[in-house]
Structure 1
Amino acid sequence: RYYFIMVAMFFTVSVVNNYALNLNIAMPLHMIFRSGSLIASMALGIIILKKRYSVSKYTSIALVSVGIFTCTFMSAKQVASDSGVNEEDGLQVFLWWLLGIAALTFALLMSARMGIFQEMLYKQFGKHSKEALFYNHALPLPGFLLLAPNIYQHAVLFSQSEPFQVPVVGLTLPIMWFYLLMNVVTQYVCIRGVFILTTECTSLTVTLVVTLRKFVSLIFSILYFHNPFTAWHWLGTLFVFVGTLMYTEVWNSLGPFLARWRKRPKEE
């Protein structure tokens, strides 16, 4: 029963996040919204679990969120300026956009709630990351039959992409299918790690790690595609770095270490 609840949340978040792109939501705006996951996780942790955090924790989450928002926003501006797409005017378009914003907000809060639900589940029934990973991805499969026409349409488009020869193996297949295969492999490694992490850490810590992974991906994409790395990107990176150090309380560990290091010459 509990797994069905978690699976329902997972399926809903996945579908709503993807469907929001059909509601006049541009991909850059979609990325910016996802950067608010830390704030959502902390807010629901306070409301549902009645958690209280130190001032340094609040500050660190704010710094990381602002840093990621800054980098994402500046990258989104570059994408928007390069795309040159003319925005449509009209009340209908605006209303669809508002519906898209509502969908993204719902998915953001639902995702944070799912993390808290997992944390409570592991506390009650023990740490079974492999079991949770299996049920979380196997049980929603029948639900995707509802999206069969859309999946088939994209499968046809994938098959029509240019051929690509896989290195070492020598197998030739459409390049989009190769990208999908690589995405599945890397996603499995990533999600497997996340599910292990959920058994050992709080939902807020897991959200921080996943958010930092997204930040690294963003920085890597900027460098890989040779996009401008502006002063705003440096500022955002600094915020993320300082916020992460504050959250992990590295300063508290460094304090005693530096104190002992300063005393060493006197003792000798």
Structure 2
Amino acid sequence: MHLSKTIVKVFLGCCSSAFLMEILMSKCPESANLITFLQFFFISLQGFVFTVKFGTIKPKIPLKHYAILIALFFITSVANNYVYALHVPSTLHMIIRSASSPASMLVYCIVKKQSPRVSNAVGSVLISLGVILATYGGAPIDKTEGIFLYWCIGVTILMATLITGAFTGLQQEILYAKYGKNPSEMMFYTHAIPLPFFIGISSELLETGTSLTWGIWLLIALNIVSQFYCAHSVHELATKETSVTVTFILTLRKFASLLISSIVFKNNLTSLHILGTICVTVGTIIYFNFFENLKQKPVTYVSDKKSN
């Protein structure tokens, strides 16, 4: 019963955040970095008060060991923002990011020097095929005036962030195995320590912030709250279920966001988008062997991953 409530909170928080982000990107795509900064700042402020108790609680994981994780996390978060300004639609953005499963498997197999299970391999092929179909279907018809070039750059950035995101998850796993599972602490430090990095784009943030209307600021405030609720719900779910089930549920959440986007914004989904989405969904089910896992007793591994 409690798990069902947590899943509902994940869908409510994360779908709301994605829905509000798509509205914001349609109105002012240049505000993506500002929104990311404000999300980082709000989560850091909340963690400073409630997690580390104004700095009175020392981190269980030494701060120097957060360096690689924070660098990967920050690069992935900021790089994804620039994609919105490169003519990559939000629907395609969500579909490509659903390919995090094969990317994680690829990175894990290379680093750990292990071969994947058959279900993992088959699922990854289907997911990758779905991404390829959706990518091709999302390419703009007008390939003049540099639009297609920008689109290619945007898709390349998305593909690259799949790899950096996979390394982020692997680094989290390494830290969890060595120092124990501290999701709230990790959530705080991965958002608080990178804040000074935003100084490099402070002029951009200031210029963007002063140009926004009160209506946009209201949407940003709602997005920040919903994103925090999303992240908190995912952490709560991760303490009750296996990482396999958590990732599967998050993939379904992305699929739900895609459907909401298509219905509300009446996005022009092509047959390739639809076929690609089906492949991603079926591939995810096979990859995680979800129905078999329902019959097994969950393990105690906790995954600390952020969803957007």
Fold shared, TM-score > 0.5 on shorter chain: yes
- Report the structure number with the largest CA radius of gyration: 1
Distance 2:272 2:102 in 1: 21
Per the TM alignment, residue 85 of structure 1 is displaced from its structure 2 partner at its CA by: 8.5
Supply the AA of the counterpart residue of 1:87: E
Structure 2 CA distance for aligned equivalents of residues 87 and 13 of structure 1: 28
- Unaligned runs of 5+ residues in structure 1 are 162-173, 256-268
CA distance in 2, matches of 1:122, 1:254: 24
Taking structure 1 as reference, are residues 5 and 206 closer, same or farther at Cα in structure 2, changes over 3 Å only? Answer: farther
Q: Does 1:218 align with 2:238?
A: no
| Identity across the alignment (%) | 35
Question: Which residue number in structure 2 is paired with residue 54 of structure 1?
Answer: 117
Aligned residue in 2 for 1:13 = 76
Shift of residue 61, structure 1, vs aligned partner: 2.6
The number of residue pairs the alignment matches comes to 229
More off after superposition, 205-214 vs 187-196: 205-214
So what's the TM-score if we normalise by structure 2?
A: 0.61
Q: Is residue 13–residue 111 contact of structure 1 (8 Å, CA) maintained in 2?
A: yes
Deviation for aligned residue 1:234 = 4.3
Deviations 1:151-171 (A, max 9, x none): 01111121xx3xxxxxxxxxx
> Cα 1:115–1:194, aligned 2, differ >3 Å: closer, same or farther?
farther
What's the secondary structure of 1:236's corresponding residue?
Answer: helix
Match of 2:88 in 1: 27
Partner of residue 138, structure 1: 192
Q: Which moved more, 1:188-197 or 1:36-45?
A: 188-197
Displacement after TM superposition at 1:178 (Å): 1.2
1:50–1:192 Cα change, 3 Å = farther
Deviations 1:76-128, CA, capped at 9 Å, x for gaps: 35xx45xx785239xxx96x887766654443321110111001111111111
Cα distance in 2 for partners of 1:97, 1:228 equals: 17
Question: Could you tell me whether the CA contact under 8 Å between 2:102 and 2:127 is conserved in 1?
Answer: no
TM-score for both structures, normalised by structure 1: 0.69
Match runs of 1:226-237 below 5 Å: 226-228=266-268, 231-237=271-277
Displacement of 1:232 after TM fit?
A: 3.9
Residues 68, 175 of structure 1: CA spacing in aligned structure 2 closer, same or farther, 3 A cutoff?
A: farther
**1:186 counterpart = 2:226:** yes
**Partner Cα distance (2:153, 2:116) in 1:** 33
Tell me how far 1:11 sits from its aligned partner.
Answer: 1.5
What is the aligned partner in structure 2 of residue 151 from structure 1? 205
Partner-residue secondary structure (3-state), 1:184: helix
Pairwise CA distance, 1:225? 1.6
- Residue identity in the other structure for 2:89: P
2:153 & 2:270 partners in 1: Cα distance?
A: 33
